[in-house]
Amino acid sequence: MNNTTFDEVTGNFSAAEALPEERAAFIRKTYAHLAIAIAAFAGITAYLVTSPAGLILTNTMLGTSYSWLIVLGLFMGVSWIAQSWANSQTSRYMQYMGLILFTVAESIIFVPLLFYTAYVSGGGIETIAKAGVVTIGLFLGLTAVVFLTRKDFSFLGPILAIGGFVALGFIASGIIFGFSLGSIFAFAMVAFAGGAILYETSNMLHRYNTSQYVAASLGLFASVALLFWYILSIFRSGD
C-alpha cells in the first residue's frame, strides 16, 4: 500500500480521486463490512461470555501474572498477519480471511473484560450497553469531522505510532510490576483511539484505493474496538 493517489498494481485511484459513483460505492462497501465485523464481534463475544467457555478463557488468559502479557503478544502477532492478508493486492479471499481472523482474535481478547464487567464488577450488561452506545456516538462524531472537513489526517500516523509504543510500554510495565494504570491512562487511550479513528477514516479516503474496502474496514474496526475497550474500562471502574 502506498500514499500516492493512483495504485500502479491495481490501476485504481484513491477514493478521494475516484469518480463520485466509485467513491460512493467504496464508502458503502467499507462501512457495510465494518458493520458486519462489529455484528460478528458482538455475536461471538455474546456467545463466549454467556457460555462455559467465557470462564475457561478468562481463567486461562488471566491465570498467572504473565498470562495476559503472552496473550497480548499473540494478539499483536495475529493482528499483523490479519492486516497483511487484508491488504493483499492479489487475492480477495486473503483479504476476507484477514478480516475474519482479526474479528475472531478481537472477540477472544475481549472476553475477560466483558466477563468481569458482566459477572464480577457488578456493572452487568447495562454497563456494556452504555459503553457501546457511547462508542458508536463518538465514532459517528469523529467520522463526521473527516467527511465534513475533508481534511487529510495522515499527519497523525507518526504521532499514533509513537503513542502506541509508549502505551504498550506502560501496559507491559503494569503487568510485570503489578500496578494499575488507572483512569487517567484509560482517558488518554480514549483520546488515542479517537485519533486512530480520524486517521483511519482519512486513510479510507486519501490512502486506500477503491478496491481495498476490506482493508479499510479492518482499520476502522480495530480503532472502534480500541475505543470500546477503554470506554468500557472507564464505565466499569465507575460502577
pLDDT at 12: 60
Q: What pTM did the predictor assign?
A: 0.89
pLDDT at 217: 96
Please tell me whether residue 161 adopts helix, strand or coil conformation: helix
Per-residue pLDDT tens digits of the chain, which is 239 residues long:
333 344 444 446 677 777 788 889 999 999 999 999 999 999 999 999 999 988 999 999 988 778 888 888 999 999 999 999 999 887 899 999 999 999 999 999 999 999 988 888 777 888 999 999 999 999 999 999 999 988 889 999 999 999 999 999 988 888 888 778 888 999 999 999 999 999 999 999 888 888 899 999 999 999 999 999 999 999 987 65
Burial of 144 (0-12, 13-18, 19+ CB in 10 A): exposed
What DSSP assignment string belongs to 168-187?
HHHHHHHHHHT---HHHHHH
Instruction: Report the Cα 96 to chain-centroid distance in Å.
Output: 16
pLDDT at 9: 43
